[in-house]
């Protein structure tokens, strides 16, 4: 039980001339949630599919529950649950049938009726897979990953195509899995999803790990807190800094929008509002905030849209 | 991250693989259900063979050798039925399962790939048993009186034929795109219907050049053992065995799961 749920070391995978994964290293401790976060084409799915044993990496090692996902494939499959990014179900099979089939492969499966209700699939239990909506297909696929009571689940973009309610329900489910001791490796390009669910976030870009850590570590690292406010344009900022504690910076990035950077204390806030009052400037939209995971992500992976 | 989650201990891990028999039974039953649920596959596996048997035996549209039309047709229709299930139906469904990621998803399940192929074979055999039963009953009602002594050999030939067709189906489905498999498998079915000697006797010259094809060998063998008893010509056994071993080996070598 001491080996991590997933341990990826210096993983490299090439497809012809393109390098899909370029030296990725990360580890998922048992019973925790790790999110692989990155833009399309970052190598998330390739990484997960190597962990699932679908392909042998060109270089590096992958251990899943202490086993080799390719060589020990048959020992591993009963212990993991897999949700592919899309498809994977007979188009003509009814939702309940598809779930029962996977349940029959497990020694002690979950009650399929309970799981069907839990994932809001009760109303479509007899509907063929091909006629389910995108979100219903995702939920069925999630149910199929969980029904065998696995130790570790791989969820490749679990909430893609879900409406906001289903997405929230899926988040609750992942949190419950974690509380029950299931290890979860998921991929997502939703920042709020990673921030909300994961103990560990690994940000991939062009196959490389560009940042890794807990959401709190990632958002705190290298990023001072900021105070933003609006007021009359052209206030004398040098004079403002004299009125505030040492070690702060001030700027006016757009006319009438001010930014104070540095360590935020109640004195800073009181100082800013008092100084503005002496200049007859009415302060609006005042906000003290930390960098969000979105800021971190965009700083690291660039702000241009990718093809 | 401060979340309070009320756990009902529902998902506490308890992994394990089900007994092999239960897995095979579930997978086989699923494959059979899906086959019987598809209208076009039912048309191919049951409706067309029965219509051919009844239509051609009860009319004189097609000229047949010998006086007993049912005795000539029943073995041909049985061979056609086996081909429709083991080759055409299996190639098309497996091709689409591959393109829809079903095979990929099952590859990550506790059912091993070998067991999946065992289940597919069992499902094909189950459908063939159903086809043979229906065709035999219809033929008997039409006055068919097969040689009882040839029944064991007929069974052997049907199994060997099913193995050859399955190997070819998996070879096609595992290497071509699903759409190409769909077109190719239907084309081969029609070609074999025409040149397999199913509904009419081939001119001797053509018959001899095509006797190395699995359908022709199966039809010739079944006609021989069901009309005259015995084990039939050695040639048909050799032809079918070579196709079975060759196609299964090729499928094992080149089948791609994704």
Amino acid A47: pLDDT: 96
Most confident of A257-261, B64-68, B117-121: B117-121
- pLDDT reading at B66 higher than 90: no
Residues of B in contact with A114 (CB under 8 A): 10
Place of tokens 């130790």: A151
Distance in Å, alpha carbon of B11 to nearest chain A alpha carbon = 6
**DSSP secondary structure string for all residues of A158-217:** TTTT--HHHHHHHHHHHHHHHHTT-EEEEEES-HHHHHHH-SEEEEEETTEEEEEE-HHH
Let me know: does B10 contact A117? Beta carbons within 8 Å: no
| More confident call, B258 vs A172 | A172
Taken in order B248, B125, B160, B94, the sign of the CA dihedral is negative
Q: Is B64 helix (H, G, I), strand (E, B) or coil?
A: coil
Question: What are the φ/ψ torsions at residue A152 (nearest 5 degrees)?
Answer: -140, 135
Q: pLDDT value at position B6?
A: 64
Average confidence (pLDDT) over A228-241:
89
What's the pLDDT at B84?
A: 95
**pLDDT tens-digit series, residues B122-167:** 999 999 999 999 999 999 999 999 999 999 999 999 999 999 999 9
| Interchain pair B13, A149: CB under 8 A | yes
Assess contact for A69 and A11: CB atoms under 8 A.
Answer: no
**How many angstroms separate the CA of residue A227 from the nearest CA in chain B?**
23
Share of chain A above pLDDT 70, in %: 94
For chain A, give the percent of residues with pLDDT over 90.
64
Query: Which tokens belong to B188?
Result: 């081969």
Number of other CB atoms surrounding residue A103 within 10 Å: 21
> Cβ A87–B110 below 8 Å, yes or no?
no
Alpha-carbon distances of B241 from A123, A278, B28, B233, rounded to whole Å: 50, 100, 25, 13
**For residues A252-274, average pLDDT:** 86
The band of A294, judged by pLDDT with boundaries at 50, 70 and 90, is confident
Q: Indicate whether B45 pLDDT > 80.
A: yes
User: What residues pair up with A19 in beta bridges, in sequence order?
Assistant: A14
Has residue B3 got a pLDDT over 70? no
Alpha-carbon distances of B116 from B110, B129, B239, rounded to whole Å: 10, 20, 28
Is the model more confident about A292 or about A277?
Answer: A277
Residue B2 has pLDDT above 60, yes or no: no
Q: A256 pLDDT exceeds 90?
A: no
CB burial class (10 A; 0-12, 13-18, 19+) of residue A161?
A: middle
| Residues on chain B bordering chain A, Cβ-to-Cβ distance under 8 angstroms | 1, 3, 5, 7-18, 22-23, 25-27, 30, 33-34, 37-38, 96-97, 100-102, 104-105, 107-112, 258
Q: Any idea where the domains of chain B sit in the sequence?
A: 20-254
Q: Looking at the predicted structure, is the pLDDT value of residue B1 above 50?
A: no
Residue among B93, B41, B57 nearest B198 (CA): B57
> What backbone torsions phi and psi does residue B89 show, to the nearest 5 degrees?
-65, -45
pLDDT tens by residue, B180-191: 999 999 999 999
Decide if pLDDT at A54 tops 70: yes
Residues of B in contact with A215 (CB under 8 A): 1
Q: What is the mean pLDDT of residues B45-65?
A: 89
Evaluate whether B196 touches B219 at the Cβ level (below 8 Å): yes
pLDDT band at A275 (very low <50, low <70, confident <90, very high): very high
The model carries a pTM of 0.84
Task: Give the C-alpha separation, B187 to B38, whole Å.
Answer: 19
Positive or negative: CA dihedral A152, B2, A9, A295:
positive
pLDDT score for B101: 93
Q: Please name the member of A84, A93, A148 whose beta carbon is closest to the beta carbon of B101.
A: A84
Compute the average pLDDT of residues B25-36: 95
Q: A259: part of which helix (H) or strand (E)?
A: strand A257-261
What is the reported pLDDT for A203?
A: 93
**Lowest-confidence range among A112-116, B3-7, B63-67?**
B3-7
Q: How far apart are CA A165 and CA A162, in angstroms?
A: 8
Better pLDDT: A161 or A37: A37
CA-based nearest residue to A47, from A73, A81, A76, A10: A10
Facing residue for A180 by CB, picked from B12, B18, B97: B12
Span B245-250, average pLDDT: 93
Class of domain A6-220 as given by CATH: alpha beta
Q: Which of A63, A71, A143 is nearest to A102 (CA)?
A: A143
Q: Which residue in chain B is spatially nearest to A216 when comparing CA positions?
A: B1
Mean pLDDT on A116-132: 94
ipTM (interface pTM): 0.87
Paired tokens of B4: 């309070």
**Minimum CA–CA partner of B109 in chain A:** A77
CA distance A105 to B110: 6
Per-residue model confidence (pLDDT) at position A157: 94
Average pLDDT, integer, range A85-92: 90
Tokens of A174: 């992942």
What integer pLDDT is reported at residue A304 of this predicted model?
53
Summarised one tens digit per residue, pLDDT across range B101-116 is 999 999 999 999 889 9
CA nearest neighbour of B13 among A221, A41, A178, A2: A178
Alpha carbon A96 to chain centroid, angstroms: 29
Contact B131, B81 (CB under 8 A): yes
């Amino acid at each position: 039980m001491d080996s991590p749920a997933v341990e990826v070391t210096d993983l490299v995978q090439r497809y012809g001339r393109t390098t899909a994964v370029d030296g990725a290293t990360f580890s998922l401790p048992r019973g925790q949630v790790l999110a692989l976060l990155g833009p399309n084409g970052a190598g998330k799915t390739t990484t997960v599919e190597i962990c699932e044993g679908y392909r042998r990496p060109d270089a590096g090692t992958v251990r899943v529950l202490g086993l080799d996902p390719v060589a020990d494939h048959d020992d591993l499959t009963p212990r993991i649950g897999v949700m592919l990014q899309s498809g994977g179900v007979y188009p003509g099979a009814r939702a309940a049938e598809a779930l029962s089939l996977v349940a029959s492969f497990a020694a002690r499966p979950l009650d399929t009726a309970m799981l069907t209700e839990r994932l809001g699939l009760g109303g479509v239990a007899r509907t063929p897979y091909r006629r389910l909506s995108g979100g219903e297909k995702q939920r069925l696929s999630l149910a199929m990953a969980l029904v065998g009571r696995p130790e570790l689940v791989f969820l490749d973009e679990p909430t893609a195509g879900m409406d906001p309610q289903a997405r929230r329900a899926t988040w609750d489910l992942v949190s419950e899995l974690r509380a029950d001791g299931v290890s979860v490796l998921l991929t997502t390009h939703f920042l709020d999803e990673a921030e909300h669910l994961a103990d560990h976030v690994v940000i991939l870009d062009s196959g490389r790990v560009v940042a890794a850590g807990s959401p709190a570590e990632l958002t705190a690292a290298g990023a001072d807190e900021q105070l933003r406010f609006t007021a009359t344009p052209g206030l004398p900022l040098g004079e403002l800094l004299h009125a505030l504690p040492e070690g702060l910076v001030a700027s006016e990035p757009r006319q009438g929008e001010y930014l104070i950077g540095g360590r935020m204390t109640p004195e800073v806030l009181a100082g800013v509002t008092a100084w503005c009052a002496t200049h007859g400037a009415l302060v609006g939209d005042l906000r003290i905030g930390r960098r969000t995971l979105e800021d971190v992500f965009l700083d690291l992976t660039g702000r241009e849209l990718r093809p | 991250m401060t979340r309070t989650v009320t756990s009902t201990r529902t998902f506490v891990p308890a992994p394990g693989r089900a007994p092999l028999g239960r897995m095979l039974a579930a997978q086989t039953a699923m494959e059979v259900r899906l086959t019987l649920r598809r209208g076009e596959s039912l048309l191919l596996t049951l409706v067309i063979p029965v219509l051919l048997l009844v239509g051609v035996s009860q009319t004189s549209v097609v000229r047949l050798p010998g006086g007993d039309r049912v005795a000539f047709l029943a073995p041909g229709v049985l061979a056609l039925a086996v081909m429709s299930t083991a080759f055409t139906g299996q190639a098309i469904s497996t091709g689409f399962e591959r393109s829809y990621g079903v095979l990929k998803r099952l590859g990550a399940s506790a059912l091993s790939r070998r067991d999946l192929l065992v289940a597919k074979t069992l499902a094909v055999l189950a459908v063939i048993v159903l086809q043979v039963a229906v065709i035999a009953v219809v033929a008997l009602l039409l006055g068919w009186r097969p040689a009882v002594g040839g029944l064991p050999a007929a069974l052997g030939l049907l199994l060997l034929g099913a193995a050859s067709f399955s190997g070819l189906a998996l070879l096609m489905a595992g290497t071509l795109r699903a759409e190409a498999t769909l077109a190719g498998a239907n084309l081969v079915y029609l070609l074999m219907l025409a040149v397999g000697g199913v509904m009419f006797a081939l001119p001797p010259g053509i018959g001899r050049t095509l006797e190395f094809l699995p359908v022709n060998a199966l039809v010739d063998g079944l006609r021989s053992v069901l009309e005259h008893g015995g084990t039939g010509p050695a040639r048909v056994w050799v032809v079918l065995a070579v196709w079975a071993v060759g196609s299964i080996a090729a499928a094992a070598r080149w089948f791609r799961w994704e």
